Structure 1
Amino acid sequence: MLSVTSLQLYLLPIDEYNMITQKEAVSAIYNCVKEHEKSLIDEKAFLISLSVGIPIDDFYEVDGRLTYRGLVNGYVADCEKYLSVIDKYDGKTILNASLYMFNLIRRGITGKLDEKALKLLSELNLFQGYS
């Protein structure tokens, strides 16, 4: 997903007064993608929603941090617990675990899973109901 700043690059009028080089455009888009990869908000929300059993619509982002709305205290505690588990892992592991679960649930496909992602999914108790 591209952020507003990278979309604005595509919408800029290109003329002799407002020229933006291809290198600048690629750099801006790369930075937006890297920013998204750092937070992995959607992937974290997906894994937590599977673990806790609540709709993914109850999650949103505030200042780059995953937040929950309208949840009773028990669910908030569970979400915090699972988020602290997820935050111990690097972005690549979180992404791999999220993609694995998506493919398993939506397509019935079990792919190869690296050891770290396997450990993450085990800590989230996701192999009990989906494997």
Structure 2
Amino acid sequence: VCGALPPPVGAQSAASRAAAGFEENPASIPSQASPVQELAVSVRVPSEAGVYALCYCSDLSGATGSCTSDRDFYQTAGKLAVRGATSGQEFPCTSFLPCSFTVTGTRLSAWDRVMVIPWTSQCGFAAGALDRVEVNPALAGRVL
């Protein structure tokens, strides 16, 4: 819950307890010369799927250095749902036996796919490793 964390002795920086996986957190909002109804925010490229709380800090003074403590972000602005598979999942299978598993994540779609690659490779930079699957990448829900 935004701003509800019990503060330790002295204020803790907002970035120290912010969600991991975001390049710039808390995200800064470009300064505006006049009041606006919308603020465009970029969290760059989130690295972890999940649902996150968006906590807002109203900097009425316009002074630099405001909105630096976790307690400053007390207003809940909404939720951010980052679509994708939960990382770190492990699925045991045995050679020469049928293998099926369920990938979990946030807001997955029936059109999402899974590709099997060598463990030493990096996702997004390798071709499929299995030549004996019906589809590689496999449609969600298909048995490998």
TM-score range, shorter chain: under 0.3
Query: Which one has a bigger Cα radius of gyration?
Result: 2
Q: Normalized per residue, which structure has more helix?
A: 1
Identify, as 1 or 2, the structure richer in strand: 2
* TM norm structure 2: 0.25
